[in-house]
Amino acid sequence: MLYNSVFFITIFLPIALGGWVLFNKLSYRTLAKVFVVGMSLWFYAYYNISYLWIILASIALNYGLSFLMEHLKNERHGLRKALWLTGLLGNVGMLFYFKYLNFFIDNCNFFFHSDIHIEKIALPLGISFFTFQQISFLTDRYTGDARHYAPADYAFYVTFFPQLVAGPIVRHDTFIPQVVSERSGRISADDLYRGLSLFALGLAKKVLLADYMGVLVNAEYNNIPWLDTPSAWCVICFYMMELYFDFSGYSDMSRGIGRMFGIDIPRNFNSPFKSGSVKDFWRRWHITLGGFLTKYIYIPLGGNRKGRARQCINLFIVFMVSGIWHGANWTFVVWGLMHALAAVFETAFPKARFKKAWINRVITFLYVTLSFSVFRADSLSNAAELWRKLFGFSFRGCFPGMCNTLAFPENFAIRKFLEMTAPGLVNPLYVTTFLIITFTGILAICGMQGEEWIEKKGHTRLGGFIIATLFVWSFISLSQVSVFLYFNF
């Protein structure tokens, strides 16, 4: 089920929120959690009901191991470690089977000239996110940093629909205490207003910016041989912005829904394009993934405690894991490698920076955008062809033709009028549309974060009018529903 759908906004969300508030008001706290778990499973199964057993099996495995750890906490340490390793292998094994087995077989056939054939395995929605979440919980159970929770609390933690499919990756120690607290289920008018406002801003990011940018990006990534250098650079910059508005918009909507339920979901973005280095970028982009990798991979490897050379190795490993986590394709491996090399370089040569902060920001943006052009490509050969366009210094006037993909309901009337009265002005209309979307995107990137804007301006009449206008405009545009990009990872 998609946040950016009429069914979710008008039917699913009101039922889920209404049931949560009602059962908590009647003091049926466990029933309230069970109700939301049921709604969350419906939310998940709405996409493909055949995948429902996967998340249920994952919950059963991890909760069962936590239960055994609880009843064996006074036994030998080796037994608890065996349970943890069983859970780790089970989680990673499930992720490998559904996400990487086809990729592994294809590469075995290529490198070893074998002829192994298996049926194509579809990627279950959200498996990367809820698997990482449960690995973190089980690891903390093993180290003694987490206690065993009641079944309803644990199931609520894993399945809570605002963070189920594409994150943010929520830690049990920040989430479950909110669910079991006395305040749980007591929703204030301020919670509802802030939540609805943040949801509306996230919806606008997705529908009015990311989806419109995606029209051009999708068309031109299928048209790489015909691009020239300026149009190729426009395409990869548009994709970088599309991905940001799509994923940060999803995260804003998730946080907004969580706020409506009285639950704080962690922030996943913090002005990443203001970063002055690749390491700084990852402190601002997909923050919860970075936090997971830091706590459960980087620090156990030694972090920065064993000298700079070891720190560089640890950073390299973490960024390569990040690349592989995103998908089963060599493009993700190369993307991870590019970020790994940049992070290692910045660590090994910390003074290799320009004195002007804006220069560091521009270089970081260009490097990150180039890396994400590989991330978006279907294959390495596709990425190589795109890079030949980026650095081939060819100028064939492709830019106006590229802009012709930007035919939207908002410019329909003007477009038809010009086609009848002044056909020569149709192309300038498309170029103007491109410039308006680009300028709006830059303003949104350079402006305040959603929560900050709501805090400072959202409670004024003008702020309320802007939020209402964006919501209505986005809602009217839902006839062009598209999935979120991170559903693919």
**Residues catalogued as catalytic:** 326
Write out the DSSP string of 454-486: HHHHTTSHHHHHHHHHHHHHHHHGGGG----GG
User: Which of 306, 300, 349, 307 lies closest to 321 in space, CA to CA?
Assistant: 300
CB distance 435 to 399 below 8 Å:
no
In DSSP terms, 285 is beta-bridged to 269
Write out the DSSP string of 306-328: T-HHHHHHHHHHHHHHHHHHH-S
Q: Angle at which helices 330-348 and 357-376 pack, to 10 degrees?
A: 160
User: Which of 449, 442, 430, 384 lies closest to 209 in space, CA to CA?
Assistant: 442
Tokens of 308: 């700079």
Tokens of 314: 């640890």
Is the backbone peptide bond immediately before 168 cis, with ω within 30 degrees of 0?
A: yes
User: What residue has token string 């309230």?
Assistant: 32
> What CA–CA distance (Å, rounded) separates 476 from 255?
22
Burial-class residue 10 by CB neighbours within 10 Å (0-12, 13-18, 19+). Answer: exposed
User: Which of 125, 45, 50, 119 lies closest to 488 in space, CA to CA?
Assistant: 125
Question: What's the Cα-to-Cα distance from 62 to each of 20, 68, 130, 439, rounded to whole Å?
Answer: 26, 10, 11, 47
Q: Left (φ > 0), alpha (ψ -120 to 50) or beta: where does 232 sit? A: alpha
In DSSP terms, 269 is beta-bridged to 285
> What CA–CA distance (Å, rounded) separates 287 from 281?
10
User: What residue has token string 């997971």?
Assistant: 292
> What CA–CA distance (Å, rounded) separates 3 from 106?
35
What's phi and psi for 269, nearest 5 deg? -140, 145
DSSP 350: T
> What CA–CA distance (Å, rounded) separates 268 from 441?
19
Single-letter residue type at 232: A
> What CA–CA distance (Å, rounded) separates 167 from 336?
20
Write out the DSSP string of 352-374: ---SSHHHHHHHHHHHHHHHHHH
